[in-house]
Structure 1
Amino acid sequence: MKPLPFPYSVNIGTDIVHLSRILRLISRPHNYGKETYLQRFTRRILCDQERLDFRARFHPPPSTPSIIGPRSWNVPITPEMARWLAGRFAAKEAARKAGHGGGASSISWKDVQVRTEGSGSGGRGSGGRPEVVYLNANGGGHVGKLSISHDGDYVVATVLAAG
């Protein structure tokens, strides 16, 4: 008998991140005097709401063109900060892999928001389950299920999204 196809149109993506890689990346010296690698990483990877969540959690000053210089973020880089960023990175990469259509190459880092279930637009809900939102141009989007785990030096994330 011929096997039956899976009855639902779903996609799965997974990613694993070595925590020391993220810590090493965000701890690098300044990028030619313009911005720190921590600033560059958060600007390139996190969507607007996630950057607000990051600032609220770790208290770096907001970036504006007038204070982007090398001394503008005099924030100690902690293992907790690296773990949080590694979790976002792994979750976004898993979400991009699970994304519909062209896969990871067709979805940018900022097109995916990691948040807590039921937290509305913000990511700092009251301990709900994590989820990803595939953002679209009008601010809405489709929700994908996220499982994320931290163990020692590794962070792993898996996303289940409608295909």
Structure 2
Amino acid sequence: MILGVGVDLVHVPRIVALTRRKGYDRFAKRILSASEHSDWLKLDKNQTDICTRFLAVRWGIKEAAYKAFFPAVKPTWKELTYQGHVNGTQVKPAVFYHPVDSLDSRKVGSIRASISHDGDYVLAFVVVGVPN
């Protein structure tokens, strides 16, 4: 059974505008989990397209996840972690939920994610199952 479905469409120039106002690192610290932030620190900040896409993907997947979790759970940015690469190798997209309140983890089941990007757009799709 499904707890919720969430979809988000990110217009990448919007992320560019946000990062210009707040700065890449400040924006990254706001929305990235600890492990995502570790990956962020490894990126070459001179490659702005890669940095922007990195942030846009995480923004979109977390927005979609929030929509899928709500109203059972209201996760924060940092409680959600997106994984699309492991040791430089692309893997099936995944979202992991690490709630501050351990009781919240009992309110959600499996999480499935899909992400697609083309040009100025990132599309994120998340389905959350009910717990067993």
- 2:15 matches 1:22: yes
Instruction: Name the count of aligned residue pairs.
Output: 125
Number of the residue aligned with 1:4 = none
Q: CA offset at residue 130 of structure 1? A: 0.7
Alignment of 1:8-157 (within 5 A): 8-28=1-21, 37-56=23-42, 58-59=43-44, 75-76=45-46, 78-102=48-72, 106-116=74-84, 119=86, 124=87, 126-137=89-100, 143-157=110-124
Deviation readout 1:61-96 (Å, 9 max, x if unpaired):
xxxxxxxxxxxxxx4361121111101100010011
Q: CA deviation at 1:37?
A: 2.1
If each structure's helix is expressed as a fraction of its own residues, which one has the higher value?
2
Identify, as 1 or 2, the structure richer in strand.
2
- Contact 1:114–1:132 (CA under 8 A) maintained in structure 2: yes
The TM-score with structure 2 as length reference comes to 0.81
* Letter in structure 1 aligned against 2:33: C
Unaligned runs of 5+ residues in structure 1 are 1-7, 29-35, 60-74
Does structure 2 retain, via aligned residues, the 8 Å contact 1:23–1:79?
A: no
TM-score normalized by the length of structure 1: 0.67
Give the CA RMSD over aligned residues: 2.4
Q: Give 1:134's aligned amino acid.
A: Y
Cα contact 1:133–1:143 (8 A) shared by 2: no
Bigger relative CO (Cα 8 Å, ≥ 6 apart) = 2
Structure 1 residue runs of 4 or more that deviate by more than 3 Å after TM superposition? 100-103
How far apart are 1:102 and its partner, in Å? Answer: 4.2
Query: What are the ranges of 5 or more consecutive residues in structure 2 without an aligned counterpart?
Result: none
Q: What SS does the aligned partner of 1:131 have? A: strand
How much has 1:126 moved relative to structure 2? 2.5
Shift of 1:128: 1.2
* Largest Rg, 1 or 2: 1
